[in-house]
Chains A and B, each alone.
Chain A
């Protein structure tokens, strides 16, 4: 396998940040979603109680995941579904291809699934001569533009309506220059209707699978997953093994949290529950995918990251994500949770992501399943230092800081020097291309005296 390039978040974010008007717009679009979440969370009196329940249920599930998966498999099979197991992305893709080949399938319709994105299913199937149509509007836009989603719930959040207009003009023949969302959505509706009717197999992700009943739940607003699997005879549902909940009643907790956290709706328009194939003439295939999840379960530090229900709330609230765009993370899952998950796959490749964080803690506050995201990001930084993956510049300055903070006399002298130099240093001495910190910042006015001095004076009395 060829080695993948190192992701440098600041470099990847630079072009996005350079377009001031665009990043303000992006920032505000996500803040709008975050505000809607706040309103919903505030309207449920037992919100915090729900979060605790969700967290406890997930902790229990992950602790005994093996048992719950076996229970799920047994119950799903009893209902007539076929349960497949995939150790990694490649095996997942092969399993899906095998099912499609067995049915001589040439066209599939697919609803949103971060798992298939993680596995690179679309490209794999296309390379094998199968037409793949993403049916979620945002995903379809991204697919036509040959891009990747930049957000796990709002895949096209980085694209302006004028750009969608251009894409649809080119691919769907809409009027040139049209940018009205209503008009564009209607065009997509007509275009995708034909695709739905022509689809030979429907592929969906899974929001929740239930060990106790052997069923699974898919949530959408557009109804695309439902339309996609209600026409053809074969439904393939692809899920990461952490999507399980033990009991049917547990769904009530997660469904109440999911849409409210994701888009600020009380529930998604459609919350579909599938228990076995449609009829004796149909098939339901469920592909259980590990792809690194069992390894994550073994980590005491990062295990809770497996609680994630992919609501996207941590991204919407993250000041770094909102201002740098999802693509700057170069990962299937961006934002705070992505910055925790990606280094667990490849710590050297994704070593800059735990630093794409101001440690403001907002992500941990909004997370419906109480993942301590900012603590985990901090833990990652410690880990990276241990692995010697910190860049040289940071290693040296950290060493220096450590010496400084250990010696009170050195510290007070450095403070004095700092205050003096702030006064006398000419602008060019601090603002030049060697100092990346001052690119968009001015240095502060130096205080007249040190805190130590002030304290000694004022607390004497």
Chain B
């Protein structure tokens, strides 16, 4: 079915010629010094605070039992029919995605429990690596999202975050900060635009 369209490069040389026709001297690239960037006395506290300002909820937990307990107290979780868990060692799922080929089949997923690689205190974002998800759409199509990340994997600012990623190893990776939202109707903030309606973040030891 897939008939790959070849690259259109008719104008390639023309564009490049225009870009090299006039010599412009650049200043060179600056060194980005992490020491000059914001650091916090208590990055965990900062992360929780920022996450709450963008509509997410953070929970400090000691073990997996506690995650299960907190989730089961949330009515939309207790009533959920299809839960996909990408951290089965902590939370069992009710839908096995290993057998699913077509991401469209995931349209009715209620909850996705994803795994975060690290979190950023400065902006409340969590890095989710594409390789941890059999289908990346799981992160966006589920009605509700939970991410499990260890609080020992917290960085102060985004520069440290990118340094941690190094060079991206899989085709997809995303910083998630809070539930999906919009303010396109008269600047009123509404949570749950197209992606998840709420975001729970579990900070494990």
Query: What is the interface of chain A, defined by CB distance below 8 A to chain B?
Result: 29, 32-33, 44-46, 49, 53, 56-57, 59-66, 69-70, 77, 79, 82-87, 91, 95, 98-99, 102-103, 135-138, 141, 154-157, 159-161, 164, 181-182, 184-186, 189, 192-193, 196-197, 213, 215, 221-224, 226-227, 230-231, 233, 241, 246-253, 255-256, 263, 265-279, 281, 283, 285, 288, 290, 294-295, 297-298, 303
Contacts and interface: CB of A to CB of B under 8 A. Distances in A.
A156 B193 contact: no
B38 to A, nearest CB: 6
Interface residues of B, number: 81
B75 interface: no
Nearest to A95: B8
Nearest to A101: B5
B37 A226 contact: no
Given A222-B194, A297-B22, A290 B173 contact: no
Q: Which of B136, B139, B140, B162 has the most CB atoms of chain A within a 10 A radius of its CB?
A: B140
Contacts of A294: 15, 18-19
Q: Is the interface of B mostly helix, strand, loop or mixed?
A: loop
Contacts of A57: 29-30
9 contacts: A29-B186, A56-B30, A161-B185, A221-B181, A222-B181, A223-B140, A231-B103, A273-B172, A297-B19
Contacts of B28: 60
Given A82-B6, A85-B9, A185-B185, A66 B162 contact: no
B195 A270 contact: yes
A285 B158 CA distance: 28
B24 interface: yes
A49 B180 CA distance: 31
Contacts of B54: 265-266, 269
B107 interface: yes
A125 to B, nearest CB: 15
Contact of B177 (A155, A268, A277, A303): A268
Nearest to A140: B184
Given A222-B181, A222-B194, A263-B183, A253 B32 contact: yes
B2 A269 contact: no
Given A44-B38, A85-B8, A137-B182, 18 more contacts: A85-B9, A164-B185, A164-B186, A181-B190, A185-B192, A186-B192, A222-B181, A223-B193, A227-B195, A241-B15, A248-B162, A250-B32, A255-B175, A266-B124, A267-B158, A275-B173, A295-B18, A297-B24
